[in-house]
Amino acid sequence: MRIALTYNLRRDGREASAEFDSRETIAALAMLVESLGHQVTPLDVTGSIPRVVAGLRWIRPELVLNLAEGERGAFREAFYPALFEQLGYAHTGSSASVLALCLDKALAKRVVGAAGVAVAQGALVRDRRDVPRVPLPALVKPNLEGSSKGISAASVVESQDALAARTRELFDRYPDGVLVEEFVPGVDVTVGWVDPLGVLPAVACRYPSARFAVYDYALKHEMSSVVAQEPVELRFAAPLATAAARVFAALGVTGYGRADFRVTPEGDVVFLEMNALPSLAPGEDLYAAAGWLGVTPRDLLGHILGAAVRARDAPRAA
């Protein structure tokens, strides 16, 4: 197939561009996809929308392998898939509507909670002057961001005054909304799903202990070498797989995705958030989980592309 590989190029080390992809990542992915027999043309979507449309018309892709995160707003992850859909280009991953739903952590939790999965309790702050009352300690984070942006050791607060200060400080940086949640003790776990492989083995993220350990921005981006990716304890595997299956189904994720949970010392599985557009950079969680099933990175990308082709070619309801 002719495939357009759409992405945002990471041009600097700022937190704002943490979800964007490096030239090395794009080159590695293009090589893997080409090894499957496809013709791949990378297309950086950052900047001019007319340029993106012109690029797509020149490429004439039979499929878009989409990594584009967008740049701003509640619809940023959904914008380019929506554009592709309007232009008639099939793309990998979930639909624009699902991507918009999943980026909104508070809204996604309401859907997941209604599906019978435990979620971290909290409140969404939409006004800088509002400070919710939630059980302490609490975790304060942006509502519409991924890649641990806006999360640091200071994100866990133990007093109402600290909660007010942290909420206002974060709101000034992320005015689209701040989510204040109860702090859930335990281990960070990610669970991937890929069509047709199904729910992948859960990946536990182990890192240096702290009083309130959270997988923050520094650990994810600046100290990633100290984070271990390992299978979860066997006793947690089945509850996590069950919860993850419900989460993916409830949110309508298609193609592939990754759900994030905390598993408490008592064994409770608590949903945190959904990433319907997880990174496909080499070494990320999806590859580790698929590898435990004997699936190579090349084959994993083949499954992701194959799911998109099946969705493209499926008969449409009259």
**Domain edges within the chain:** 2-91, 101-118+185-308, 122-182
Which CATH number is 101-118+185-308 given?
3.30.470.20
* pLDDT at 222 exceeding the cut of 80: no
* pLDDT at 271 exceeding the cut of 90: yes
* pLDDT bucket at 194, cuts 50 / 70 / 90: very high
- Look at 12-21, 61-70, 155-164 and tell me which has the smallest mean pLDDT: 12-21
| Over residues 88-96, mean pLDDT | 97
The contacts found for 21-27 with CB under 8 angstroms, 24 or more apart, are 21/67, 21/279, 21/281, 22/281, 25/280, 25/281, 25/282, 26/67
Evaluate the CA torsion angle 66, 216, 229, 274 in order and state its sign.
negative
| Over residues 170-196, mean pLDDT | 93
pLDDT at 146: 83
CATH of 2-91, one of 3.40.50.620, 3.40.50.20, 3.40.50.720, 3.30.390.30: 3.40.50.20
Are 106 and 124 in contact, with CB atoms under 8 Å apart? Answer: yes
Fold of 122-182: Dna Ligase; domain 1 (3.30.1490)
Convert the pLDDT of each residue in 228-261 to its tens digit: 778 888 888 999 999 999 999 999 999 999 999 9
pLDDT at 207: 79
Which residues lie below 8 Å from residue 191, measured CB to CB, with a gap of 6+?
199, 200, 202, 203, 240, 241, 243, 244, 258, 259, 261, 289
pLDDT at 57: 97
Are 90 and 97 in contact, with CB atoms under 8 Å apart? Answer: no
Q: What's the gap between Cα 106 and its chain centre? A: 14
* pLDDT bucket at 156, cuts 50 / 70 / 90: very high
| Over residues 71-99, mean pLDDT | 95
* pLDDT at 93 exceeding the cut of 60: yes
C-alpha 289/C-alpha 133 separation (Å) is 38
Q: What is the dihedral of CA 287, 289, 290, 294, to 10 degrees?
A: 120
Are 230 and 203 in contact, with CB atoms under 8 Å apart? Answer: yes
| Over residues 82-97, mean pLDDT | 97
Predicted TM-score of the model (pTM): 0.92
pLDDT at 29: 96
* pLDDT at 127 exceeding the cut of 90: no
* pLDDT at 221 exceeding the cut of 80: no
pLDDT at 284: 86
In the block, residue with structure tokens 């993220």: 205
Are 55 and 43 in contact, with CB atoms under 8 Å apart? Answer: yes
Q: Record the tokens describing residue 121, joined without a space.
A: 């309790």
pLDDT at 318: 54
Are 103 and 78 in contact, with CB atoms under 8 Å apart? Answer: yes
* pLDDT at 4 exceeding the cut of 90: yes
pLDDT at 107: 96
DSSP class of residue 280 equals -
pLDDT at 131: 81
- Look at 90-104, 127-141, 172-186, 214-228 and tell me which has the smallest mean pLDDT: 214-228
Q: HSE of 284 in the Cβ direction (CA atoms, 13 Å)?
A: 21
C-alpha 275/C-alpha 260 separation (Å) is 8
* pLDDT at 119 exceeding the cut of 70: yes
